[in-house]
């Protein structure tokens, strides 16, 4: 009888270990299924790229070899000095868009008067092509960080305010009726019902906005900057330095993916239930 308890505990531990093995295997399989297809697709693209270079269909300053581009990515220090400038523009512009867009969406959603005042102006700013607006901003703000941050802000602002407003309007009518019956204040309804329900929409808009932010920063650097990855891409193409131009594009794409991944990870932390079956 003395040895029966330890034996039972050992059996329980063995059962748990055996149950965890299939779970670990399924997780590894899921990760492999998520990673292997993109890697395989990238290999196909790089192989096709190398074939084009071998055929000599285009000169190397137009389509450089993949290895030359990789060498410039890892050896050209100017790319990373430009990366710091572009990343700063993206982070500041995106942060301002969040700080302004989300509260403004709350105001125009909860007040018909403010909606009638601000929504036409918001739609008007969105209808203006940012490429056409960038030179005007250069004249108004000059060459420097302010122009690029403003372009990033304008690019990010609309998806954030639209998705936030959509989320606030999608609150459950039953919950709102219950809040009224309980005499909840407007602040309590916003804090307990509207904002938590809109959070998945806000983060979805943020994922769209963060990728557009990189595009906005590059547009601003094209027309009004002497630094950043967009400026380096422009000067590399002017000098027929195809390897550096493609390397700048690779670094920009990597930065965009990293920023998107950060927002996606934040979404999983703040709304872990969103997107689950």
How many domains does the chain fold into?
A: 2
For residue 190, give every residue at least 6 positions away whose Cβ sits within 8 Å of its Cβ, in sequence order, or none. 106, 110
Q: Are residues 52 and 93 in the same domain?
A: no
70 and 53 fall within a common domain: no
- Looking at the structure, tell me whether residues 128 and 264 fall in a common domain: yes
Asked whether the beta carbons of 153 and 104 are under 8 A apart, the reply is no
Distance (Å) of CA 37 to CA 33, 59, 85, 116, 168: 7, 31, 33, 48, 37
**Shared domain check, 151 and 180:** yes
Question: What are the φ/ψ torsions at residue 45 (nearest 5 degrees)?
Answer: -65, -45
Same domain, 93 and 31: no
Query: Where among 17, 40, 57 does a domain terminate?
Result: 57
Mean per-residue pLDDT over the chain, rounded: 83
Q: Is residue 277 part of a domain?
A: no
Strands in the chain per DSSP E: none
Range of the domain at 118: 66-270
**CA–CA separation, 41 vs 95, rounded Å?**
34
11/80 same-domain check: no
Task: Encode pLDDT of 50-67 as tens digits.
Answer: 788 787 777 777 788 888
Classify the C-alpha dihedral 108-112-115-117 as positive or negative.
Answer: negative
Rg for the chain (alpha carbons), in Å? 26
Dump pLDDT digits (tens) for 77-125: 899 999 999 999 999 999 999 999 999 998 888 888 888 888 888 888 7
Q: Are residues 227 and 171 in the same domain?
A: yes
- The answer to whether the CB of 216 falls within 8 A of the CB of 154 is yes
């Amino acid at each position: 009888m003395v040895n029966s308890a330890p034996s039972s505990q050992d059996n329980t531990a063995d059962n748990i270990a055996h149950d965890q093995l299939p779970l670990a295997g399924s997780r590894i399989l899921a990760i492999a299924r998520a990673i292997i297809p993109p890697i395989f697709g990238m290999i196909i693209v790089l192989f096709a790229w190398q074939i084009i270079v071998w055929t000599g269909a285009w000169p190397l300053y137009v389509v450089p070899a993949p290895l030359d581009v990789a060498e410039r990515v890892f050896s050209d220090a100017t790319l990373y000095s430009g990366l710091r400038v572009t990343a700063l523009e993206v982070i500041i512009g995106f942060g301002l868009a969040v700080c302004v867009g989300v509260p403004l969406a709350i105001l125009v959603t909860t007040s018909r008067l403010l909606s009638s005042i601000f929504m036409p102006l918001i739609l008007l700013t969105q209808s203006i092509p940012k490429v056409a607006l960038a030179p005007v901003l250069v004249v108004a703000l000059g060459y420097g960080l302010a122009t690029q941050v403003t372009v990033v802000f304008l690019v990010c602002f609309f998806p954030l305010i639209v998705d936030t407003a959509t989320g606030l309007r999608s609150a459950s009518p039953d919950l709102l009726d219950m809040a009224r019956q309980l005499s909840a204040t407007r602040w309590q309804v916003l804090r307990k019902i509207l904002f938590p329900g809109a959070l998945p929409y806000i983060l979805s808009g943020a994922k769209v906005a963060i990728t557009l932010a990189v595009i906005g920063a590059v547009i601003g650097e094209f027309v009004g900057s002497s630094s950043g990855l967009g400026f380096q891409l422009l000067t590399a193409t002017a000098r027929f330095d195809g390897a550096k131009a493609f390397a700048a594009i690779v670094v920009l794409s990597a930065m965009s993916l990293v920023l998107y991944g950060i927002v996606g990870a934040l979404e999983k932390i703040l709304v872990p239930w969103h997107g689950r079956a």
